[in-house]
Amino acid sequence: MAGYRALAAVGRSVVDLLNRRFLDEIPAGPRPEAVLAGPVDFDKVDTPGAVIRHPAVSVYCYRLSIDRETRPSWAAMAAQDGMARLPLRMHLLIAAWDRFVEAELEWLGLAALALESEGPLTGPLLHPSGDWGAGDAVQIVPDDLAMDSMSEAFQAMTTDYRLCLPYLARVIRIDGRPGRTADEVTVVASGTSGTGR
């Protein structure tokens, strides 16, 4: 059962996975650091206190959507046990940051290799802050994002367009509190019987 922290926990899980794989591939020498970033961070690269510092790979969640494939089954289950379950998808843009375009392309290739080489995130691969259940799993798969949609995502920000890899994290199920069953109600009828005059 994942709690309300599940979305942030998935972001942390992807960052942790990338950093582990970067270390495996490049045990010594310069390698990027994966970070969870927002649009404000894109304008502050390499400034004091910046989240993104060269070399880096940023993981940016630009959109959340309902997982329509699993929503009906979870809604049916909620109707039976009274516990709401919301299945979500996180739409991610993976970008590389370096002073040289060749290095950025290498870091993007390294990120793609890391994400494609991993199966679903389960157990210890899921950041513990998500309050995960024993059977919870999140798939990280390529997202089918049209060029127009990618451009629109950047038009909403003040930063210039960057080459990105679109990925999708699915299905992140946020569970509500267990529903309460109605208490049994006992109806006591009282009446008076009398004789009419």
DSSP reduced 3-state for 75: helix
CA 177 to chain centre: 20
The string of DSSP letters for 77-137 reads HHHHH---EEEEEEEEEEEEE-SSHHHHHHHHHHHHHHHHT---EEGGGS-GGG---TT-E
Both tokens of residue 104?
A: 């950025």
Say what the pTM is. 0.82
Q: What pLDDT is recorded for position 173?
A: 84
pLDDT at 98: 95
Whole-number pLDDT of residue 48: 95
SS3 assignment, position 34 = strand
Tens of pLDDT along the chain (197 residues) come to 578 899 999 999 999 999 999 999 999 989 999 999 998 999 899 999 999 999 999 999 988 998 888 756 656 565 666 566 788 999 999 999 999 999 999 999 999 999 999 889 999 999 999 988 888 999 999 998 766 666 666 666 667 778 899 999 998 888 877 655 444 444 455 555 555 54
CB atoms within 10 A of CB 11: 20
> What pLDDT sits at residue 155?
66
Q: Which residue has the tokens 């494609």?
A: 116
> Do residues 142 and 112 lie in contact, with contact meaning Cβ atoms separated by under 8 Å?
no
Spans of all domains in the chain: 6-174
pLDDT at 125: 94
Query: What separation in angstroms does the CA of 43 have from each of 11, 58, 158?
Result: 20, 13, 7
Indicate the fold that domain 6-174 takes in CATH.
STM4215-like (3.30.2000)
- Neighbouring residues of 23: CB distance < 8 A, sequence distance ≥ 6: 31
Closest by Cα among 11, 4, 1 to 135? 1
Give the pLDDT score at 183. Answer: 45
**DSSP state, residue 29:** S
pLDDT given for residue 72 in this prediction:
60
In this prediction, residue 1 carries a pLDDT of 56
